[in-house]
Amino acid sequence: MLKHPKQGVFSCDSVLNDFIYTNMKDLFEHLLILRSPRIGPAAYNDLIRRFGSVGEIVAHLNVSDELRDSVSREIDLANRMNVHFISDMDDCYPPALKTVKNHPPILTARGNIDTLRCESVAMVGTRHATANGMEFVADMARAFAEHNIPVVSGMAMGTDAAAHIGALRAHGDTNTIAVLAGGVDYIWPLENEKLYYDIIERGVIVSEMPVGFIPKSTNFVQRNRIIAGIGSKLILSEADSNSGSMKTAEFAHAYNRTIYAIPSHPADSRAMGPNSLIRSGAAILCGGINDFFTEKNSVKNKEKNYESENPILDKIGTIPLSESVLAEIVGKNISEIKRELVILELQGLIRKTDNGYIRI
């Protein structure tokens, strides 16, 4: 385990394991490499292959006194804030992220680091989400957390915040993981300051950036790849076609994660991202939490005495879907859709609202 002269153990407090850092010198040298200019995970791995040991790499880099002082200050600051350094050789390192090529060799974490051990689900979407969209995401996040599956997101306004807040509504203290673009101590946006501290109490904040680091715009894309890597699956809510959330979906696809997309009205630009993934077959249409915990579906189907294979019924969930959207999803014309919707409504399986049909 990594020992710190002031605090003691600087890793997974609840588990005794063979941690990569046997002393402060090991941590210091690893951070000297990772904090050097133009050295990210790929360059780090290449240096390990070339030189074989961390000490040899440090000698080759001939790091400056300024960098040494900076790393020393980072370790001291982390100690004062109870921030953990987690290596990819440690049991606390997120298992799904470890399978990603060129994953971060070291993460910093603040909060309940046992949360990182669990299989988790990533939930992302636009900062400018609708009220209905955020409520839907929050309800799903709470259900995942109640099933002991932490929800991973980026703590941004809108969808991200709804995912974290929903997960925190469940009982327990391993409910959610927030991945930041800056250091784990840098709260952004400031409107989510309370949420930040709630997550520390009930989940964990993580980053690959140095403690004290203020993010730039490019760091948010780096953050998104970690969100996609930590989650064993990705759920995409409302998102514009060129949004950061769509970039997260691209990472998830590259990592062979299953992607689910929540459909929305095609006239809304926030529907372009998820609807396009559903249309192309890159994502599975997400109708709600019952898509993931089928025992609830079984009870519902038994009570209604209706075959669940009905293609239209399977696509209707708690978000209203219009006739035109349903027609596009199932590949039928409007007249066919209308006839089947009338039958489903008479059977008490769906209900028409001002914005479309929902399942009941």
Residues 216-249 have pLDDT tens digits of 999 999 999 999 999 999 999 999 999 999 999 9
Q: Which residue has the higher pLDDT, 21 or 35?
A: 35
118 has a pLDDT exceeding 90: yes
Residue ranges of alpha helices (H) inside the chain are 24-34, 41-51, 54-61, 65-80, 95-98, 131-146, 159-168, 193-202, 217-230, 244-254, 272-280, 294-304, 311-315, 323-330, 334-346
**What's the pTM?**
0.77
Ramachandran category for residue 256: left, alpha or beta (phi over 0 → left; psi -120 to 50 → alpha): left
CB 105 within 8 A of CB 30: yes
| Lowest-confidence segment of 85-89, 211-215, 268-272, 345-349 by average pLDDT | 345-349
pLDDT in the model for residue 23: 60
Residues 120-154 have pLDDT tens digits of 999 999 999 998 899 999 999 999 999 999 999 99
The predicted model gives 340-346 an average pLDDT of 80
